[in-house]
Amino acid sequence: MNSQIKLHRATGGIVPEVAARAHIKNILPITKLALKKAKLNLENIDYLAVTAGPGLVVSLIVGVEFVKGLSLATDKPIIPTNHMAGHLYSVFIKHASAVKFPIVALVVSGGHTMLVLMKSFSNSKVIGQTVDDAAGEAFDKVARLLNLPYPGGPKISKLAKLGQAIIQFPRPMLHENNYNFSFSGLKTAVRYYIDDLQKTKNLPRTKTIAFGTRADIAASFQQAIIDVLVGKTMKAARNYKAKTIALSGGVAANLALRQALLKLAKQQHLKFIVPNYELCTDNAGMIATAAYFKLKAGYKPVHFSKVKADPNWEL
């Protein structure tokens, strides 16, 4: 595995050109390493899968153009794969056999928050998504308000363990009659709370607030976001008579969220499936898995001349 987190921490988030340059530097060595670890060489591979979207176009282009080169050199066809399909199918890396449909899948990443209804491996429909910030984005933005480094999710969940969820932040759209989400108001509520605190204590803007209070803010924010995610997922599971609940995407690495969904799924006698931690945040294994299911559903891999990065590709 190769991570660019340290690089992005230096700039407080992902700067597209910095990310793309790092991809260019790493893509060949990491491909060689993956083949070596799998004890395979390119001749043993049937098809080449690549993330073609959605995402930052400069990053997508690096992967897409690299795989086209590989395809030209090896004569293997390509399976262009949707990044969110990667997250969606990542739950099947561990749980492909004996899985029961329908599945209500909550996919929560830095760029997306969606509820997907899966009636079979090849039949899925997005039933709800965020109307503004994604769940991971909200974690990252609130982390910044608390002076925590990028990526914010893991830092907030660590800090939340030391605090109590005693501050009443809003649960946006929880009781609305749809499966959509909105997290930008929640982030603003946290910002106002911090601003008020600094004003009442007459602290200069740059002065950080007490550690215990920061921990309480982290715990309360995390609880608010979990209540909304879990509430809407369980509502969808009820209405669509789901037999399984799936959780994936970077935010699925959040232990409190995993535990909350597991508990409710158990109460309702539903199966709960979630990838191992390392397969929640972006990885190539999930792309290979989504490509495999696409192939199984009858997709014909294509010639490299047909493959193009699509930054807005919808699931």
User: Contact positions toward ligand KG4, by CB under 6 A?
Assistant: 109-111, 136, 139-140, 151-154, 157, 249-251, 253-254, 281-282
Q: How far apart are CA 75 and CA 93, in angstroms?
A: 27
**Residue 248 engages Zn ion in binding (rule: CB under 5 A):** no
Choose the one of ligand KG4, Zn ion, none that binds residue 136, judging by a C-beta under 5 to 8 angstroms depending on kind: ligand KG4
Size of the site for Zn ion (CB under 5 A): 2
What is the identity of the amino acid at 65? E
Shortest Å, Cβ 282 to Zn ion: 4
Q: How far apart are CA 151 and CA 141, in angstroms?
A: 9
Shortest Å, Cβ 54 to Zn ion: 10
CB closer to ligand KG4, 164 vs 259 = 259
CB closer to Zn ion, 51 vs 223 = 51
CB closer to Zn ion, 140 vs 282 = 282
CB closer to Zn ion, 71 vs 109 = 109
Q: How far apart are CA 237 and CA 33, in angstroms?
A: 41
**Residue 282 engages Zn ion in binding (rule: CB under 5 A):** yes
Q: Write down how long the chain is.
A: 315
Touching Zn ion, residues 49-68 (CB under 5 A): none
Choose the one of Zn ion, ligand KG4, none that binds residue 231, judging by a C-beta under 5 to 8 angstroms depending on kind: none
Choose the one of Zn ion, ligand KG4, none that binds residue 59, judging by a C-beta under 5 to 8 angstroms depending on kind: none
Position of minimal CB gap to Zn ion: 109
What is the x/- site pattern for Zn ion, positions 100-119, by CB under 5 A?
---------x----------
What is the identity of the amino acid at 191? R
Choose the one of Zn ion, ligand KG4, none that binds residue 253, judging by a C-beta under 5 to 8 angstroms depending on kind: ligand KG4
Stretch that binds Zn ion, among 126-134, 154-162, 251-259, 280-288 (CB under 5 A): 280-288
Shortest Å, Cβ 91 to Zn ion: 14
What is the identity of the amino acid at 202? N
Shortest Å, Cβ 248 to ligand KG4: 8
Strand partners, 272: 245
Pick from 274, 262, 273, 271: nearest CA to 243: 271
CB closer to ligand KG4, 232 vs 304 = 232
Choose the one of Zn ion, ligand KG4, none that binds residue 139, judging by a C-beta under 5 to 8 angstroms depending on kind: ligand KG4
* SS3 track for the chain: CCCCHHHHHHCCCCCHHHHHHHHHHHHHHHHHHHHHHCCCCHHHCCCEEEEEECCCHHHHHHHHHHHHHHHHHHCCCEEEEEHHHHHHHCCHHHHCCCCCCCEEEEEECCCCEEEEEEEECCEEEEEEEECCCCHHHHHHHHHHHCCCCCCHHHHHHHHHCCCCCCCCCCCCCCCCCCCCECCHHHHHHHHHHHHHHHHHCCCCCCCCCCHHHHHHHHHHHHHHHHHHHHHHHHHHHHHCCCCEEEEECHHHHCHHHHHHHHHHHHHCCCEEECCCHHHCCCCHHHHHHHHHHHHHCCCCCECHHHCCCCCCCCC
**Residue 140 engages Zn ion in binding (rule: CB under 5 A):** no
Shortest Å, Cβ 136 to ligand KG4: 3
Choose the one of Zn ion, ligand KG4, none that binds residue 157, judging by a C-beta under 5 to 8 angstroms depending on kind: ligand KG4
Shortest Å, Cβ 200 to Zn ion: 39
Shortest Å, Cβ 162 to ligand KG4: 15
